[in-house]
Amino acid sequence: MDFSSILDESASKYPDRIAVVAGNQSLTFAALHDRVARLAGGFIGLGLAPGDRIATVMPNSLDLITILLASA
């Protein structure tokens, strides 16, 4: 099972449960799933494909979690 499948299943079973917390911000599984799906679609729209590399340097945050999951 990969990250995408786990997130899909979690968003389906537990949409309103908190998935991640970073500082004073949090996201439910449904909100995280939506953010990840939109960003992954954006990556595809930019022409990125499986096997391509993405680099980022940023502090731990909800945005970083979204980027990591979307790039997976």
**Per-residue pLDDT tens for 11-37?**
999 999 999 999 999 999 999 999 999
Give residue 10's pLDDT.
97
pLDDT for 2: 87
DSSP category for residue 12: H
pLDDT(1) > 80: no
Q: What 3-state DSSP class applies to 26?
A: strand
Q: Return d(Cα 72, Cα 26) in angstroms, integer.
A: 21
**This prediction's pTM:** 0.91
Long-range contacts of 18-22 (CB under 8 A, 24+ apart): 20/62, 20/65, 22/60, 22/61, 22/62, 22/65
Q: What is the pLDDT of residues 52-72, one digit of tens each?
A: 999 999 999 999 999 999 998
